Structure 1
């Protein structure tokens, strides 16, 4: 079958930089899906030699498909219906079944044919040019793009994220005649807005990127522009013996802002280095999209790299212009910092009384009082300074009302640290101002001080019980207060920092700190279940099966650290040769005990042990129990399960030789008590039966 290169380009006003890559990827995906649907069952074979490339620049989205089949192949639709012998009644009229089959096929009874004793429908579809289907495929792809809010422009009824200025649609060297977004498709694209603001006629789709680059001063390939920016930035940094910090998010954003990127090195006054580095970095990155540089000591250097969208004949003028723009920005940061230092964090806490945390949960000031109280208790439990934790808790939100954080919200916590240090607070109290927000995202660092840990846990638990207590838990994908993230952060701090804390106990105290929660009854259990369930994804990411997690969850240990030890022990147990048989035995024991409604762990009477197999199992359980309980007490669950695995032979012999449900009630109950004792030992770690 013949194949030609296909090109679609949508030319627009400047697209939203943070959405550019998402739009580009979605456009390619939807166009391919539409083409595959049009080509039908032979799509994969027809597309196997087709290379697909998407392009994304500030004023254009494009997709190039090399060697695209030019025809939708001929096809035959065939469907069997009812047997011919029952398709008509005695008078020769079609039965309801036959009429229903015809309607289902979108045809009439007289169009059906008989084959192999059945009425059938056959429809032949001739081959047709793919070009006829491409306009609808493109329009459908554009309609499906993830655009939160579309706009209209001029008198057009078309809608898109930005006004559309031109459309290119070519199959081979021919234009596909159609109208997209109220514009007639053609072969003319446009060059750089400043370097070559003219139409460029495309001869062949394959020449698209090269033509734009060589004539139009446009690098349409997003990845090529990104790598060019990276290499240019590194080269500029070398000129001053510094290291440029290239944040991936910022790199993508400046790539999306520039069609013809040119990196330029600027500098700012060294006096601004007295301001906390992150404040300067935020000012440069967020407002100006500059990359910052570090000196050989890893400290902020008085330089920046900006990415210009033009290749200027006088680059120094461009640099000076950027230096002139950044100077007042940095001066503002310096002013905010010096002004903020004149008011202590303690004084600022009064302003928190006017800020509502949540309408049913009071003000931010009330929240800090609850955090302080809970943090002090946690500090005592982990052997830290209670006074520091309470002090840090009271101050932990005070920087929210500082001028610097109001201007740069992302600096909350960090500025609290600097202001607490300026106020003469204890170092741990100061560090906790920043650390109580850690981890801020998945994989982020954890608090390094015990005071920071205590406040971080207290802050999150207060929010969790508060929101659950007013019946606002996360639902589906909606989690406006990020309770799932708060839970994972809490679990990470406790487990990875080795803190022996009981969640149920802490949740009860946190809930009691709130006044009049409408859903107070059973609140700590609801939140505890929610938090423990977050472990599931944690362990899946670690390659631990869901069965291992569920086996531990079944016994519901309320200490996250203890929960983690059990999971790791059970995961190790699964690797033992005895594991499968013992898991199956536990499942059998569980079923037997549940049917007989055996509760607790009844005592075993030696005098009622009749068979050698049950006597051997009872003796082994009696011998092993003290050592197992000592291991439980020490939290060494792996060693405990290894010892319990030695029971396999005795357990196998018991089930092979002993009739549990004996006729003699006393003997039967004694054997059930023996099994209950066996199961109780395993339940000291987890419900191993779930592994069976």
Structure 2
């Protein structure tokens, strides 16, 4: 069967850079699925994406579907004919739907009976006849939030479409997509090749576009940008900090990347580097340069989309563009320093946090109060934590943060230092926003931890306390992120804190504002529920997490120790048998009319296996006692692993439900003792 390379390209106006890669991958996936569903064989799929095109190249695509035999089973013969042998309405309707008469139907005989059967050979369709519809459907299924319509046509897409190219080998596949007829004209570089170019063969796609000053492969273009930036940085004697998102965005903005270096006046380095970096990256898509100590250099690398004969003109143009932005940052910084951070706190009263919970000033007052209590629990300086808490949001009303919101916290730290706030306060102001995202750094100081915890607790307790619990994807206050951040701080900083205590402290700071009577329970359950996605992200098995959650330990550090211990225990040879035994014990005890309250009576022990099990339990309890005192759950579980053989022997040879009521109750008490021993750590009965 004939096969060749298939090339599909949609030429457009500039596509949204932040979604370009996602659109490209979705287009390739959608088109290959259409071919697969149509039983058209192919091998490799490669996606291409530039600011002005989405394309897919698929190799060894079959030119035609294979012929196939279609069989449709009809009613059984008993149903298909009446007592006189005439076709019933059911049989006639089925035959008519298949375009035949009842008499023309074949018969299908099986061990279970005989049925009418329609059998026909369906000729495979040519791939070229199916392709336009495949492409149209793949485009319609792209994750486009707000498609647009252009011109006088009815077609909708994320951006106006100018060209559609459907090539199969060296043949143009005819057809319309989005109201545009397929042709072999490709858009070239907007400036270097505005006339475009002609594609003669699908296999020549990349070479043809490269001759038209377009690097079609996203990853290849990205690699060129990375190497160009690295080379420019090396020549300038600096380095560029890694920013993969920015590199992806810039890759999606250019078709022919050229890296150049520009500079700015050294006077701007008197401004903290963070707002300068923000304006260079976010406003201009520049790559700031730093020295080996992390100090900002008065230079930056940028990517241009033109191979200029006079690159110095482009460099000068970019220097002129960045200067007023840096001057703004300098002006805001100097103006902000004239007003102490503490004097800005009252201005927070005009900034709403949440209608029922008050202003950001109200929130700051609560954070200060709770941070002091947490610092007390941690044996840290309470005055530092309280002062940092009261000032932690003050920079929100500074000119710098109003202009560059990304610098909140950072500028608070600089302004606190400028105001000669006590040592530890500036750092805690910055750290209280940490962690901002998955994998982000944690606060380093205890004061920073206290304020960060107080801030996250305030949001969680406040929003839950007025009944606005996150539902589905709706989480406008980012409570899930706050919850995981809170757990990370406590666990990874090894802080001896309990969730019930923390939530109660935060709840008290609200006075009589909250309306929910179950806020403490609700918030603690929500926090415990965040352990599952957090540990799953680390590769911890779900059943391990469930085993610990069943015991509901509310001290996060203790919770973590249990998870680590059960993870180790799960890999032991004895684990499977002991988990099964615990499950069996749990089922037996669950069926009892009343819980077992009495102790094991040694005088009622008769079978050798139950005597041996009780002795083993006593030894295991003794071995695990010291380990449990020090929360060494791994050691405790390893000690309990020795119970596997006596437990198995007990179940193999002893009848728990003995006829004698006293013996039966005593044996149930043995099982209760076994169950409680493991439950001191986790419910291992849920382990798979």
* Fold shared, TM-score > 0.5 on shorter chain: yes
- Counterparts of 1:145-156 in structure 2, within 5 Å, are 145-156=142-153
Structure 1 match to 2:487: 491
Classify 1:305/1:75 alpha carbon distance in 2 versus 1 (closer, same or farther; 3 Å).
same
Distance in 1, Cα, partners of 2:6 & 2:649: 72
User: Is the 1:20–1:256 contact (alpha carbons within 8 Å) kept by the matching residues of 2?
Assistant: yes
Deviations 1:604-627 (A, max 9, x none): 344444444444444444455355
Structure 1 match to 2:130: 133
Distance in 2, Cα, partners of 1:271 & 1:53: 48
Structure 2 match to 1:120: 117
Structure 2 match to 1:63: 56
Deviations 1:333-354 (A, max 9, x none): 1111111111222211112111
Distance in 2, Cα, partners of 1:383 & 1:558: 20
1:81 and 2:74 equivalent?
yes
Q: CA RMSD in A?
A: 2.2
Classify 1:681/1:134 alpha carbon distance in 2 versus 1 (closer, same or farther; 3 Å).
same
Structure 2 match to 1:5: 5
1:37 and 2:51 equivalent?
no
Q: Normalising to structure 1: TM-score of the pair?
A: 0.94
> Where do 5+ consecutive residues of structure 2 fail to align?
none
Deviations 1:365-408 (A, max 9, x none): 11122222222111111221122111111111111111111111
Structure 1 residue 85: Cα displacement: 4.7
Structure 1 residue 579: Cα displacement: 2.5
Matching residue within 54, 71, 83 for 1:90: 83
User: Is the 1:73–1:127 contact (alpha carbons within 8 Å) kept by the matching residues of 2?
Assistant: yes
Distance in 2, Cα, partners of 1:561 & 1:34: 50
- Counterparts of 1:308-457 in structure 2, within 5 Å, are 308-457=304-453
Classify 1:54/1:590 alpha carbon distance in 2 versus 1 (closer, same or farther; 3 Å).
closer
- Counterparts of 1:138-537 in structure 2, within 5 Å, are 138-214=135-211, 216-516=212-512, 520-537=516-533
Classify 1:315/1:552 alpha carbon distance in 2 versus 1 (closer, same or farther; 3 Å).
same
User: Is the 1:500–1:559 contact (alpha carbons within 8 Å) kept by the matching residues of 2?
Assistant: yes
Structure 1 residue 519: Cα displacement: 5.5
Q: Normalising to structure 2: TM-score of the pair?
A: 0.94
Classify 1:159/1:86 alpha carbon distance in 2 versus 1 (closer, same or farther; 3 Å).
closer
Classify 1:606/1:262 alpha carbon distance in 2 versus 1 (closer, same or farther; 3 Å).
same
Deviations 1:654-687 (A, max 9, x none): 4345443344433433333333222222111111
Structure 1 residue 86: Cα displacement: 4.1
Structure 2 match to 1:636: 632
Distance in 2, Cα, partners of 1:207 & 1:575: 54
Structure 1 residue 513: Cα displacement: 2.7
Structure 1 residue 231: Cα displacement: 1.5
User: Is the 1:601–1:676 contact (alpha carbons within 8 Å) kept by the matching residues of 2?
Assistant: no
Deviations 1:279-336 (A, max 9, x none): 1111111111111111233311110111111111111111111111111111111111
Distance in 2, Cα, partners of 1:248 & 1:367: 35
Classify 1:90/1:636 alpha carbon distance in 2 versus 1 (closer, same or farther; 3 Å).
same
Classify 1:29/1:107 alpha carbon distance in 2 versus 1 (closer, same or farther; 3 Å).
farther
Q: SS of the residue aligned with 2:443?
A: coil
Structure 1 residue 601: Cα displacement: 4.8
Distance in 1, Cα, partners of 2:91 & 2:173: 44
Q: SS of the residue aligned with 1:62?
A: strand
Structure 2 match to 1:47: 42
Structure 1 residue 598: Cα displacement: 4.4
User: Is the 1:416–1:434 contact (alpha carbons within 8 Å) kept by the matching residues of 2?
Assistant: yes
Distance in 1, Cα, partners of 2:366 & 2:236: 50
Distance in 2, Cα, partners of 1:165 & 1:624: 77
Distance in 1, Cα, partners of 2:307 & 2:620: 80
Structure 1 residue 244: Cα displacement: 2.6
Classify 1:680/1:261 alpha carbon distance in 2 versus 1 (closer, same or farther; 3 Å).
same
User: Is the 1:598–1:672 contact (alpha carbons within 8 Å) kept by the matching residues of 2?
Assistant: no
User: Is the 1:511–1:520 contact (alpha carbons within 8 Å) kept by the matching residues of 2?
Assistant: no
Classify 1:514/1:184 alpha carbon distance in 2 versus 1 (closer, same or farther; 3 Å).
same
Name which of structure 1's ranges 97-106 and 135-144 shifts more when overlaid on structure 2. Answer: 97-106
Distance in 1, Cα, partners of 2:654 & 2:200: 87
Structure 1 residue 555: Cα displacement: 1.0
Classify 1:84/1:186 alpha carbon distance in 2 versus 1 (closer, same or farther; 3 Å).
same
Q: SS of the residue aligned with 2:307?
A: coil
Deviations 1:57-91 (A, max 9, x none): 11112222233211122222112233335421124
User: Is the 2:261–2:299 contact (alpha carbons within 8 Å) kept by the matching residues of 1?
Assistant: yes
Structure 1 match to 2:553: 557
Q: SS of the residue aligned with 1:139?
A: helix
Structure 1 residue 182: Cα displacement: 2.3
Structure 1 residue 275: Cα displacement: 1.0
Q: SS of the residue aligned with 2:252?
A: helix
Structure 2 match to 1:18: 18
Classify 1:653/1:185 alpha carbon distance in 2 versus 1 (closer, same or farther; 3 Å).
closer
Distance in 2, Cα, partners of 1:133 & 1:594: 61
Structure 1 residue 155: Cα displacement: 1.7
Structure 1 residue 651: Cα displacement: 3.1
Classify 1:152/1:676 alpha carbon distance in 2 versus 1 (closer, same or farther; 3 Å).
same
Distance in 1, Cα, partners of 2:9 & 2:625: 71
Distance in 1, Cα, partners of 2:303 & 2:517: 58
Classify 1:676/1:307 alpha carbon distance in 2 versus 1 (closer, same or farther; 3 Å).
same
Name which of structure 1's ranges 346-355 and 163-172 shifts more when overlaid on structure 2. Answer: 163-172
Distance in 2, Cα, partners of 1:363 & 1:37: 56
Q: SS of the residue aligned with 1:47?
A: coil
